[in-house]
Amino acid sequence: MNLPSKNIITIALLTSLSSVASVETKLTGPYLGQKAPGLTAEVFAPDIISTKGWEYGVVFAPNMKEVYMVREVNADTKPEQQFVVYEKDGENWNERVISKRVGTPTLSPNNKIMFFGRGYKERTTDGWSEMKKLGPDFEPYRIMRVTSSLNGMVTFDEATKDGKGLLRYSTMENGKLSKPKPFPKEINTGTWNAHPFIAPDESYVIWDGQRGEDTRNSDLFISFKQLDGSWGEAIKFGDNVNTLENEFAAQLSPDGKYLFFNRNGDDRNVDTYWVDAKVIEELKPDHIKKYLAKLGPSPTAEQASGSLWNTPVLTKAYTNTKPVSTDNSLVAGKLPLSKDKASAIINLTKEIGEGKHGKYDSLLIAKNNKLVFESYHQRGRFGLAHGQASATKGYTSLIVGRAIQLGYLSMADLHKPLISFLKELDTSKLVAGADKITLHKALTMQGGLTIDRDKWKEIEKAPEQLEGQKLVQRILQESAAITEETQSYKYGNFNPMLVMTVIDAVVPGGAQAFIKTEILDKLNISNYKWDTHISGLPQAGWMVRLTSRDMLKLGSIVVNNGKWQEEQFISPAYLSKATSNIIKPTEDWMPDEYRYGYYWYSMPVVVEGKTYDLNVAWGGGGNRVIVVDELNLVIAITGHDREDTIMKQISDVVIPAFVS
């Protein structure tokens, strides 16, 4: 069997990403300044990327500012393989050799992980982590290439001597990769299948294989996910992509515009090709196009990993009264409303899409624990992790409730001095009254701190002084005395990070691991971003991204009295307190009837003379989770509106529609 010479190059796992200095190039603009191809594949960057020797695995980082590849140099004398990156600085690209060793990485669509076969590295603030292993379930396989989706699903191949290795996949379940399973026969047929690429939204997989009459060279194939979650028959790309030579290792560019792949013949010259990604759309069956339309517009990898402001505004709103879900932790159903009431909600979302009510990106509704309505508008996308702003505080409150449920805190602990949990503090240096701050006080924005903000900005310039519990040490040294008079409601004021520091101190493994393993993983939330505070702890008041569907999951816990999938997840006693009317907020914009619990707002809505109580995790710009317990209703909204007046439409249109 004549397997493609390039296809059987194995991966040496790099132990570091050290490098030599960057070399300036004259390349400027997107895609190294190359002219875009049409519907027939062309060589990418001739004499730059594609040269006389072989190049392999060209991959753009989701932020489109890095291009990684493997290349051979000195082919005629002393062949050597280099791991190279082109990095964009402004409009210019600089070339840098990372290592002289072989490495053919791929990057996760969220730009967090670089895969090297059975190993991977995680992106850090100053580069990449040490090499980690995918896990023991992956060790039996001689993996050449791994790709992943936004939801954490990974696909990989298996290099075997007989060329009959299978393509496999592993899904993210409760925060861990499941035991790999082989793709079905629709994909695993023929004498060679390798280098799978899973679409960011998992709607298709592309790979190279040998099947049919020509078993000498590999061609590119695609299989689309069907309505029932199965995989469709393999479809071979046309002769605008496949030739009599070997085509292999395809992947979509992060912006979704181009399909990249490698091609070589009988010699060692391997070049990189690219083609307009419309070639994928042309192969997509009509019934799949209709199915995908029901899921709503999806983000590209570039949009998913970048800023919301880089996501184009939709020309019109997408609405669905019968959404579908492949997430076993989120059941979907049909909007259970009359035609008139359903039309009222649909018309509202259309008006939002037209900008009539502000800049809001999504509106999702769950009724009786089922997703029954979904709309995306403005910059919203299905599967896009959206900034939560201060709704994050509500999630921090739920983390406290989870810690209580698991026994790491108690309800009585809420009223103990907060500093009693922080054993690393030097209490002799703390301000008078420091022991007056309790979790209860911090959770209701009544910590009572008085700190000069200009001075604090100077302190933050030396972050090493604020690591871990040093943050609270410095806060309680810089504040004026804490008294009953100062312990009045004051929004923000360091309170959320005081709470997070306690969480970090009492839970095993620290707050970051606890949030992932005991909150997000349990809810099957894998497409998120939770930023790190200057202290090194997880952010507690903002700088978190979640998808709109995952926001509904958090609301589901609240509407179900702290239960998740029939099991007690949050302490019911804590949740009752957290969503109660403990204190009146004092912000000028806040309506008089609004009240505050443990980072959750409470407010009444009157419909036809009857009052319904709302509990809200409230974030600026229109990002919030709204729970109406009596109606078993959860509403998730995302937005980026400065005026943020959407609550009137929620109160006047959405909630009344569900009142019998």
Answer yes or no: do 202 and 333 share one domain.
no
CATH number of the CATH domain containing 104: 2.120.10.30
Mean residue pLDDT across the chain: 92
Question: Domain range for residue 41?
Answer: 24-290
Give CA–CA dist 280/523, Å, rounded: 33
Answer yes or no: do 231 and 121 share one domain.
yes
H/E stretch holding 512: helix 511-514
DSSP state letter for 520: I
CATH number of the CATH domain containing 553: 3.40.710.10
Tokens of 132: 């980690």
Looking at residue 102, its pLDDT comes to 54
In the beta sheet, which residues pair with residue 132? 120
Looking at residue 180, its pLDDT comes to 97
Is position 593 within any domain?
Answer: no
Give CA–CA dist 648/605, Å, rounded: 10
Answer yes or no: do 381 and 453 share one domain.
no
Give CA–CA dist 378/222, Å, rounded: 31
Answer yes or no: do 564 and 646 share one domain.
yes
Taking residues 412-419, report their average pLDDT. Answer: 99
Give CA–CA dist 121/114, Å, rounded: 5
Looking at residue 241, its pLDDT comes to 98
Segment among 3-12, 328-337, 439-448, 602-611 with least mean pLDDT:
3-12
- 536 contact partners, CB below 8 Å, separation of at least 6: 467, 468
Helix, strand, coil share (%) of the chain residues, nearest 5: 25, 30, 50
Whether the pLDDT of residue 78 is over 60: the answer is: yes
H/E stretch holding 284: none
Model confidence band, residue 19 (pLDDT cutoffs 50, 70, 90): low
Taking residues 146-166, report their average pLDDT. Answer: 91
Answer yes or no: do 36 and 100 share one domain.
yes
Answer yes or no: do 96 and 140 share one domain.
yes
Looking at residue 260, its pLDDT comes to 98
CA distances to 132, 141, 541 from 388, rounded to whole Å, are: 30, 40, 9
Question: Helix 548-559 to helix 391-405 angle, to the nearest 10 degrees?
Answer: 50
Looking at residue 298, its pLDDT comes to 87
Helical residues (DSSP H) of 296-359, grouped into ranges: 301-305, 339-353
Is position 589 within any domain?
Answer: no
Answer yes or no: do 367 and 219 share one domain.
no
Q: What is the pLDDT of residues 533-580, one digit of tens each?
A: 999 999 999 999 999 999 999 999 999 999 999 999 999 999 999 999
Closest CA to 34 of 252, 240, 312, 273: 273
Answer yes or no: do 62 and 97 share one domain.
yes
3-state SS assignment for residue 278: helix
Answer yes or no: do 491 and 613 share one domain.
no
Whether the pLDDT of residue 654 is over 60: the answer is: yes
Closest CA to 442 of 376, 369, 368, 497: 497
Is position 606 within any domain?
Answer: yes
Answer yes or no: do 104 and 208 share one domain.
yes
CA distances to 206, 289, 494, 528 from 177, rounded to whole Å, are: 21, 29, 36, 16
Give CA–CA dist 621/388, Å, rounded: 9
CA distances to 441, 514, 515 from 495, rounded to whole Å, are: 8, 20, 18
Whether the pLDDT of residue 75 is over 80: the answer is: no
Q: What is the pLDDT of residues 491-515, one digit of tens each?
A: 999 999 999 999 999 999 999 999 9
- Residue 216's identity, in one-letter code, is R
Question: Helix 391-405 to helix 495-506 angle, to the nearest 10 degrees?
Answer: 30
Looking at residue 3, its pLDDT comes to 34
Given 506, 529, 555, the domain boundary residue is 506
In the beta sheet, which residues pair with residue 207? 221
Model confidence band, residue 12 (pLDDT cutoffs 50, 70, 90): very low
Whether the pLDDT of residue 464 is over 70: the answer is: yes
Based on its alpha-carbon atoms, the radius of gyration of the chain, rounded to whole angstroms, reads 27
How far is C-alpha 219 from the geometric centre of its chain's CA atoms?
Answer: 32
Answer yes or no: do 219 and 181 share one domain.
yes
Closest CA to 639 of 623, 616, 617: 623
Given 232, 265, 290, the domain boundary residue is 290
Tokens of 319: 């609405």
Tell me the pairing of strands 246-252 and 176-177. Answer: unpaired
Contact between 192 and 7 (Cβ < 8 Å): yes
Contact between 223 and 232 (Cβ < 8 Å): yes
Looking at residue 22, its pLDDT comes to 65
Answer yes or no: do 123 and 253 share one domain.
yes
Looking at residue 408, its pLDDT comes to 99
Given 256, 290, 324, the domain boundary residue is 290
Comparing 646 with 81, which gets the higher pLDDT? 646
Is position 154 within any domain?
Answer: yes
Give CA–CA dist 128/121, Å, rounded: 6
Place of tokens 């059941």: 331
Is position 398 within any domain?
Answer: no
Percent residues over pLDDT 90 in the chain: 77
Looking at residue 10, its pLDDT comes to 34
Is position 15 within any domain?
Answer: no
Looking at residue 7, its pLDDT comes to 36
Whether the pLDDT of residue 15 is over 50: the answer is: no
Whether the pLDDT of residue 346 is over 50: the answer is: yes
CA distances to 64, 360, 584 from 329, rounded to whole Å, are: 33, 26, 35
Taking residues 111-132, report their average pLDDT. Answer: 90
Model confidence band, residue 216 (pLDDT cutoffs 50, 70, 90): confident
Whether the pLDDT of residue 89 is over 50: the answer is: yes
Report the predicted TM-score, pTM, of the whole model to 2 decimal places. Answer: 0.84
Whether the pLDDT of residue 231 is over 50: the answer is: yes
Give the largest Cα separation in the chain, rounded.
Answer: 88
Looking at residue 660, its pLDDT comes to 87
Q: What are phi and psi of 547, to 5 degrees?
A: -75, 160
CA distances to 155, 498, 506 from 406, rounded to whole Å, are: 35, 20, 11
Is position 12 within any domain?
Answer: no
3-state SS assignment for residue 551: helix
Taking residues 68-74, report their average pLDDT. Answer: 85
Is position 282 within any domain?
Answer: yes
Q: How many domains does the chain have?
A: 3
In the beta sheet, which residues pair with residue 386? 546
Contact between 155 and 169 (Cβ < 8 Å): yes
